[in-house]
Amino acid sequence: MDVIIRIDGRAGRITLNRPRALNALTLQMVTLMEQALLAWVHDPAVRIVIIDAAGGRSFCAGGDIAELYDPVKAGDIEAARRHCRTEYALDALIATYSKPVVTLMDGMTMGGGIGISAHASHTVATENTAISVPECSVGFVPDSGATHILSRAPGHIGEYAALTGVKLNAADAIDAGFASVYVVAEKLPELSAAIAASGEPDLVFTFAGRPERAGGLLDRREDIDAVFGLATLAEIVEALSARDDDEWHRASLRRMNRGSPLSLAMTLRAIQQGRLTPDLAGALRTEYRLVCGCMEHGDFLEGVRAALIDRDREPRWKYGSVEDVPSKVLDGMFAPPESGDFDFIPPGSGTGSEPIKVRIGHAG
């Protein structure tokens, strides 16, 4: 089984079990997780939910990219949209869940992995945690609610993380808002057993330690804010280019240059506008519009081809530089798709016997 679901003591437990694929989420895995969570809402035996992963190397590398790339390549955009809607509904369900959810983010965490972990009530990072939002490098945008977190990170850490795709360790993850507490990885089995036996999520703080902070985001906060707090991509690129005598500036520019100019522009605006978006649901709605745009009109197919199919690492982006992205095209990416917007309705809000999770509201 790619996901193991069971009840352990007072806990409903979900374990991602696809380590050879870095625990990437398939649509079937997402559906099974959602079904379990909806069932446990009404189960008095379940007081808490624990989400972890097998393998040790990766908590979750995101959604299974083939389940988006293959249908988009074949012209079946709706199948790819359906995958995104289902995944986002799970993210929102975890964020609004009526019982505590503890996620053990031990290992690589990206994309959909952020969605099923960072929005939980208690998110644990370890010395193995490596979070990144590298979507721009494959012609996509940070999604699964990542822009909600990035827009609320201190200063302009969110812009820096998203535009460069830099990896964040446990301390960085906590500082940026992706995790709430640090626990040494070897203590996770004991922590899980204690939580399952007691049903008490705050036990995570009893097991908490202090992560290594040397060389982290906060050490570079002044540089990050000075550059990535600028209003436009062109200004950010110019500021980085002006400091080619400094390795941090050079490395940041190299990372940015790997990204699709269109995706970079969409991402920067999403984070900037996200500061005015009050909740996760609004961020997911915007992200859904953007990923639909990436798949239908953007650089997604070319980015995946260059990075994962042909592996030539030479994507031919639609626009040669950030200055070349037309404002009209960028504005269009933020408009509701003709197929309808994404809206999450929490369980119990519907009038029928079954919970309503997703509504597709058509653009007027």
**What percent of the chain is predicted at pLDDT more than 90?**
89
pLDDT band at 277 (very low <50, low <70, confident <90, very high): confident
How crowded is residue 108: how many other Cβ atoms within 10 Å of its Cβ? 22
Specify whether 135 is catalytic: yes
pLDDT of residue 347: 65
Specify whether 112 is catalytic: yes
In angstroms, the Cα distances linking 87 to 25, 67, 112, 176, 244 are: 9, 12, 7, 23, 41
- Give the whole-angstrom CA distance, residue 313 versus residue 258: 9
pLDDT of residue 213: 80
Mean of all residue pLDDT scores within the chain: 93
Task: Supply angle C-alpha 145, 151, 155, rounded to 5.
Answer: 150
Specify whether 143 is catalytic: yes
β-partners of residue 341 are 361
**pLDDT beyond 70 at 359:** no
For residue range 309-320, what is the model confidence (pLDDT) as tens digits? 999 999 999 999
pLDDT, average across residues 231-239? 97
The answer to whether the predicted template modeling score (pTM) of the entire model surpasses 0.85 is: yes
CATH number of the structural domain 3-342? 3.90.226.10
Specify whether 63 is catalytic: yes
For residue range 124-172, what is the model confidence (pLDDT) as tens digits? 999 999 999 999 999 999 999 999 999 999 999 999 999 999 999 999 9
**pLDDT beyond 90 at 351:** no
pLDDT band at 215 (very low <50, low <70, confident <90, very high): confident
- Give the whole-angstrom CA distance, residue 70 versus residue 145: 23
Tell whether the torsion through CA atoms of 288, 290, 293 and 299 is positive or negative.
Answer: negative
Selecting among 91, 143, 159, 299, the annotated active-site residue is 143
